């Protein structure tokens, strides 16, 4: 059976590209765009390696990696656009075996997949067609099973990574023999050992941390030694006057009380130790919470027993930093936009003042020129009004919370009326609107806000269409779902811009004086409104065709 690769990436084009290259190498590929679907696949399907994106619509790749590592040991490769060191460290700490940043070379990804699978399959017995007979080692309380890939120490399960398991198995197989770092590295990793390579010692250190015996083991050992010593001493003949006899005789007479006393003393000591240890953990956590909002990139480091807390706090820190970064980017885009708008206000304002001043000072001007200058001043004044309205649009978007006022509306008639109202704009560019909508289609929605969405999409289609081309608006009702397609023919939107088209204050064109350029809020608000209606809006562009698709529930 071919080895199976799981790809989790919400970028359809990237997932398709990886699938193409991996299938050409003979791998079986499972492709998903959400973390929930991927985890369900892992529970029901044999997976040999996973390629995870970090930024996913329902959960991040860090969380998926952590959930996988709770039950599975197959290799995980992070494939993401996040290039900061703290993200790389976080991914590898949570259990990823490799970290690749976008943009990437597909051939390099395939090579890394092969390397990880070679290591995994070499030391994963389930991949062998014939299992070795000697697949379990029991050594002084340590039980390691190569068949089930499980390891226990004094009955306590040890959560080992595939590399740690392979190291421990190799050491157990070669017990009584001195194994060098070079030999261990070449046996486990299957690669040539390089000088100053601390990889082996780092994994050995983690193994030692995981294999620390609990204090309960020592209590049982002490009790065993007590009764063993009592039995041995009782086999001797003792005489009065012997100092040791008096001591042991007293101990024998009060053995029960002594056991109770020693047990109580041991309990108090262990309780105090654990209590102080817990207080120490609390202090560590309190100190770590201050680091969550620290601007430094260092990850939080807690004691081994608090590994889960450490991972969670590091996730929170990364989320906080990402939110701060996103907020700064949005604020910067808004500030840049305001600077552009403020700068552009001077251009039409200068024209208005200049032409009106000319009309005032030149009394002998001809009627033809007077009409021309008045027309220019009027056009520039209208452009000035548009720019001022953009300022108000920015303010409204930041200061208002969108809420829905639902009512029933004949969606068919609403669309027909809106497209009719845009006829003058269609005629100006020689466009024709081809509307296909079911008759008497009733839906429940916030009429004003849905009209705003439709208005924005139709206006965008007009502004960005080539002249003398059709604009196609198609509505499909199926299984209680309404799907709307807005298609126009214009310049293809590059993928990098298409991915950001729904961001606040993002504009496709950077020319501030263009008629198409607005505040960059229309599609962001449209997305917000559609999602409030429990729907989705997506954009697609290829071969000089631009398509926006809205999916809405018929009954909200």
Structural contact between residues 547 and 460, judged by C-beta atoms closer than 8 angstroms: no
d(CA 284, CA 481): 52
pLDDT for 536: 92
Phi/psi of residue 513, nearest 5 degrees: -95, 0
pLDDT for 99: 92
Phi/psi of residue 257, nearest 5 degrees: -65, -40
- 297: CB partners within 8 A, 6+ apart: 84, 85, 86
Residue 430, Ramachandran bin (φ over 0: left; ψ between -120 and 50: alpha; else beta): left
Give me the tens of pLDDT residue by residue for the chain, a chain 556 residues long.
578 999 998 877 788 888 888 988 889 999 999 888 999 899 888 899 999 988 887 788 899 998 898 888 899 999 887 777 888 888 888 889 999 887 778 888 899 999 998 888 776 544 433 334 457 787 767 888 877 778 887 777 777 777 888 888 888 887 766 777 778 887 887 767 665 556 677 777 777 777 654 445 556 666 677 677 767 766 766 666 666 666 766 776 777 777 788 778 877 887 787 777 777 777 777 777 777 776 666 777 777 777 777 888 888 888 888 788 777 777 776 676 666 566 566 656 766 777 787 788 777 788 888 888 888 888 878 877 877 776 676 566 554 566 788 889 999 999 999 999 889 889 988 999 999 999 888 888 988 889 988 988 998 899 889 999 999 999 999 888 999 999 999 988 888 778 777 775 555 554 444 444 454 556 877 888 888 888 999 999 998 999 999 999 877 6
Structure tokens at 406: 């639902």
pLDDT for 193: 67
pLDDT for 296: 66
Show the domains of the chain with their CATH numbers. 4-123 (3.40.50.2300), 136-210 (1.10.10.10), 312-399 (1.10.287.130), 407-553 (3.30.565.10)
Burial of 440 (0-12, 13-18, 19+ CB in 10 A): exposed
Peptide bond into 483 cis (omega under 30): no
Structure tokens at 304: 């081994």
pLDDT for 502: 77
d(CA 127, CA 123): 9
pLDDT for 466: 92
Residue 348, Ramachandran bin (φ over 0: left; ψ between -120 and 50: alpha; else beta): alpha
- Give me the residues paired with residue 481 across strands: 478, 553
Structure tokens at 183: 């030999």
Burial of 460 (0-12, 13-18, 19+ CB in 10 A): buried
Structure tokens at 210: 């995981």
- For residue 359, what are the CA distances in angstroms to 345, 377, 379? 22, 10, 16
d(CA 16, CA 311): 32
pLDDT for 472: 93
pLDDT for 32: 92
Peptide bond into 103 cis (omega under 30): yes
Q: What kind and span of H or E run contains 477?
A: strand 470-478
Q: Give the angle 469-470-474 at the CA atoms, nearest 5°.
A: 160
pLDDT for 64: 92
d(CA 14, CA 101): 13
Structure tokens at 251: 């101990």
Classified as helix, coil or strand, 476 is: strand
Classified as helix, coil or strand, 556 is: coil
Structure tokens at 4: 């199976």
Structure tokens at 496: 């990098």
What distance lies between CA 431 and its chain's CA centroid? 42
Q: What is the CA radius of gyration of the chain?
A: 36
* Residue 318 exposure: Cα atoms within 13 Å on the Cβ side: 24
Q: What kind and span of H or E run contains 28?
A: strand 28-32
pLDDT for 500: 75
């Amino acid at each position: 059976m071919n080895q199976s690769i799981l790809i989790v990436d919400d970028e359809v084009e990237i997932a398709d590209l990886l699938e193409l290259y991996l299938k050409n190498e003979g791998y079986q590929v499972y492709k998903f765009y959400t973390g929930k679907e991927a985890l369900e696949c892992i529970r029901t399907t044999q997976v040999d390696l996973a390629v995870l994106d970090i930024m996913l619509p329902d959960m991040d790749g860090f969380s998926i990696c952590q959930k996988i590592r709770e039950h599975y040991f197959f290799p995980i490769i992070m494939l993401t656009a996040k290039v900061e060191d703290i993200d790389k460290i976080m991914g590898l700490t949570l259990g990823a075996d490799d970290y690749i940043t976008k943009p990437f070379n597909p051939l390099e990804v395939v090579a890394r997949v092969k390397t990880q699978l070679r290591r995994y399959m070499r030391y994963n017995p389930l991949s062998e067609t014939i299992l070795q007979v000697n697949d379990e080692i029991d050594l002084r309380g340590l039980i390691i099973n190569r068949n089930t890939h499980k390891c226990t120490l004094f009955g306590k399960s040890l959560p080992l990574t595939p590399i740690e398991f392979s190291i421990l198995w190799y050491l157990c197989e070669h017990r009584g023999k001195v194994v060098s770092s070079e030999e261990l590295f070449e046996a486990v990793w299957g690669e040539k050992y390089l000088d100053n390579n601390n990889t082996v010692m780092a994994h050995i250190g983690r193994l030692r941390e995981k294999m620390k015996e609990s204090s309960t083991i020592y209590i049982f050992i002490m009790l065993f030694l007590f009764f063993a010593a009592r039995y041995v001493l009782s086999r001797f003949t003792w005489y009065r006057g012997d100092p040791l006899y008096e001591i042991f005789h007293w101990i024998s007479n009060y053995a029960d009380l002594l056991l109770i006393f020693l047990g109580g003393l041991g309990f108090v000591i262990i309780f105090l130790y654990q209590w102080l240890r817990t207080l120490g953990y609390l202090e560590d956590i309190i100190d770590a919470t201050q680091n969550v909002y620290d601007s430094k990139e260092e990850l939080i480091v807690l004691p081994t027993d608090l590994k889960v807390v450490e991972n969670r706090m590091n996730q929170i820190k990364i989320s906080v930093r990402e939110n701060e970064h996103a907020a700064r980017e949005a604020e910067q885009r808004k500030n840049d936009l305001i600077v552009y708008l403020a700068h552009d206000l001077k251009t039409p304002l200068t024209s208005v003042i200049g032409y009106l001043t000319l009309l005032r000072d030149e009394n002998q001007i001809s009627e033809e020129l007077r009409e021309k200058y008045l027309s220019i001043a009027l056009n520039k004044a209208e452009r000035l009004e548009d720019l001022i309205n953009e300022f108000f649009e920015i303010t409204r978007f930041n200061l208002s919370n969108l809420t829905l006022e639902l009512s029933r509306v004949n969606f068919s008639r609403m669309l027909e009326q809106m497209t009719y109202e845009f006829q003058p704009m269609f005629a100006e560019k020689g466009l024709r609107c081809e509307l296909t909508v079911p008759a008497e289609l009733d839906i429940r929605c916030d009429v004003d806000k849905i009209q705003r969405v439709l208005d924005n999409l139709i206006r965008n289609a007009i502004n960005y269409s080539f002249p003398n081309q059709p604009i196609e608006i198609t509505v499909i009702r199926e299984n209680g779902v309404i799907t709307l397609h807005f298609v126009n023919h214009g310049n293809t939107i590059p993928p990098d811009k298409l991915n950001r088209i729904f961001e606040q204050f993002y504009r496709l064109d950077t020319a501030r004086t263009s008629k198409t350029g607005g505040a960059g809020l229309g599609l962001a608000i449209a997305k917000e409104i559609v999602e409030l209606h429990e729907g989705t809006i997506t954009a697609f562009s290829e071969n000089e065709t631009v398509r926006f698709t809205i999916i809405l529930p018929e009954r909200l």
